[in-house]
Amino acid sequence: LFLIYLNFVFENGGMEVIHEKLKKDLRGFQEVSDFETRLVSSCRQYLTQRIDFKLASSTDTYLENLRKVYKPINQGYRVPKKKVKREMDSSKEDSHDKGSTILDGIPKPRQVLYDPEKIELGWSEIKGVGAGLANMGNTCFLNSVIQCLTYTPPLINFLYSGHHKISCTIQGFCAMCELHRHVTRTFNSKGNVVRPVPIVQNLKVVAKHFRLGRQEDAHEFLRYFVDALQKSCLHGHPVKMDPFSKHTT
**What is the DSSP track for 60-116?**
--HHHHHHHH---TTTT----HHHHHHHHHTTTS-TT-TT-B-TTSPBPPSS-SS-G
Burial class (CB in 10 A: 0-12, 13-18, 19+), 233: buried
Is 139 in a helix, a strand, or coil? coil
Nearest to 15 by CA among 31, 28, 2: 31
Residue 84 confidence (pLDDT): 45
- Residue-wise pLDDT for 192-244, tens only, equals 999 998 999 998 889 888 888 888 899 999 999 999 998 888 888 877 778 78
**Residues of the chain with confidence (pLDDT) below 50:** 77, 79, 83-84, 87-88, 91-100, 103
CB 197 within 8 A of CB 136: yes
Enter the pTM of the model. Answer: 0.56
Q: Please tell me the distance from the alpha carbon of residue 142 to that of residue 156, in angstroms, as a whole number.
A: 18
Residue 30 confidence (pLDDT): 55
Residue 159 confidence (pLDDT): 87
Q: Please tell me the distance from the alpha carbon of residue 18 to that of residue 24, in angstroms, as a whole number.
A: 11
Give the dihedral sign, CA 56/62/65/71.
Answer: negative
CB 248 within 8 A of CB 116: yes
